[in-house]
Amino acid sequence: MTIPVFYSISDDFTKYAAVSLNSLVKNTSPSNDYTVYFLNQGISDEHQQALKALGSDNVHVKFFYVDDKLVKPIENRQENYLKADFFTMSIFYRLFIPDLFPEYDKAIYIDSDTIINDDIAKLYDTGLGNNLFAASMDTSIQYVEKMQLYIKNVLALDPKKYINSGVLVLNCLAFRNEHFVDHFFDLLEKYHFDCIATDQDYLNEIAEGRIFYLNPKWDAMPNENTEPLAKPSLIHYNLFFKPWHFKNIQYEEYFWDNAKETPFYDELKRGLDEYTEEEREHDRQKLNHMLAKEDKTINDAQNWARVKKQGPVTL
């Protein structure tokens, strides 16, 4: 049996993806076979070779180019911005995995700003039943009042059930059978919902009531309001405060221990040392910029909550 794991990256994110991949490979079982795919729209030959070199006898690293035709309906417009800040097509790639890889009835997707401390096969073994996917509740926003109001009043969802899309166990068979991507495009083109976290909001909405909730240890996120988990299986450096830009970040030691074992360590350390306080302050303000969207979307005549009152928009 092959365990398929997917990342989606742009070329400039290779060095962070390499650290994540290194941590994944270290914790695999020799009795399992793994194939890791990097979904992309262009990675340099040098970076491809660097990632391939981190593979092993039972971890096969491959690259899949996402054709422009596939993502053409997703336009560079403010409603589709990542964290309400900028546009990047790569956040949407995860939605297409089931259709692009019909040989898999189940697959794992993980963001590149992650560290894996356990065998990813254990995550793959998650029983999905009739659920569309498994994911963890987004703990990074549980203490952010504006985000809670956005989820409750704009998305009309329960903030305690709002998941983070950075770690997913996908029921690929159900995605295909229920034409998930077609439904996503229908919603995207008809309503142009103004979202704070575009792909994540759509996943939460479309799959409402059909999400299996993972143990939080599989998506542990740095949070200054909570104590760190003693043995996190997967760490996700969500939002803006990355260990390669900020010091004294919760769980940072896991990142740097793995970074040391990659060819990008010196570059990553140099990036941390050269990152200015002005740049860090700009990153801090990004959160406020993201949350300011709640003020706008709450009054949007065609936000999720108002459209849902008119009839079902989910599967």
Pairing of strands 211-213, 133-137: parallel
Distance between first and last Cα of the chain: 31
Helix (H) or strand (E) holding 21: helix 14-26
- Which whole-number Å values give the CA distances from 41 to 80, 166, 235, 242, 310, in the listed order? 18, 19, 26, 24, 38
Running DSSP on this structure, what letter comes out for residue 75? -
Architecture in CATH for domain 2-310:
Alpha-Beta Complex (3.90)
Q: What are phi and psi of 3, to 5 degrees?
A: -100, 110
pLDDT value, residue 27: 98
Q: Which of 233, 203, 197 is nearest to 215 (CA)?
A: 233
Is the Cβ–Cβ distance between 184 and 91 less than 8 Å? no
Q: What are phi and psi of 163, to 5 degrees?
A: -100, 160
Helix (H) or strand (E) holding 35: strand 33-40
Is the Cβ–Cβ distance between 215 and 167 less than 8 Å? no
- Reading phi first (left if > 0) and then psi (alpha if -120 to 50, else beta), residue 37 is in beta
The two three-digit tokens of residue 182, written as one number: 């077609």
Q: How far is CA 11 from the centre of its chain?
A: 17
Q: CB count, 10 Å around CB of 100?
A: 18
pLDDT value, residue 286: 79
Q: Which of 146, 183, 147 is nearest to 162 (CA)?
A: 147
How long a stretch of residues is the chain?
315
Q: Which of 187, 213, 148, 181 is nearest to 312 (CA)?
A: 187
Is the Cβ–Cβ distance between 141 and 289 less than 8 Å? no
**Integer Rg of the chain from CA:** 19
Instruction: Please name the residue ranges forming H helices in 153-259.
Output: 172-177, 180-191, 198-206, 252-259
Q: Which of 157, 248, 224, 251 is nearest to 197 (CA)?
A: 157
Return per-residue pLDDT of the chain as tens, 315 residues: 899 999 999 899 999 999 999 999 999 999 999 999 999 988 999 999 999 999 999 999 999 988 766 665 454 444 433 444 433 556 678 998 998 999 999 999 999 999 999 999 999 999 999 999 999 999 988 888 989 999 999 999 999 999 999 999 999 999 999 999 889 888 888 887 888 888 899 999 999 999 999 999 999 999 988 899 999 999 999 887 799 999 999 999 999 999 999 999 999 999 999 999 999 998 888 777 777 777 888 888 889 899 998 877 654
| Location of structure tokens 């004294």 | 248
| DSSP-derived 3-state class of residue 165 | strand
pLDDT value, residue 70: 60
Cα separation, 307 vs 201, whole angstroms? 14
Query: Taking the domains of the chain in order of start, what are their residue ranges?
Result: 2-310
Running DSSP on this structure, what letter comes out for residue 72? T
pLDDT value, residue 90: 62
pLDDT value, residue 299: 86
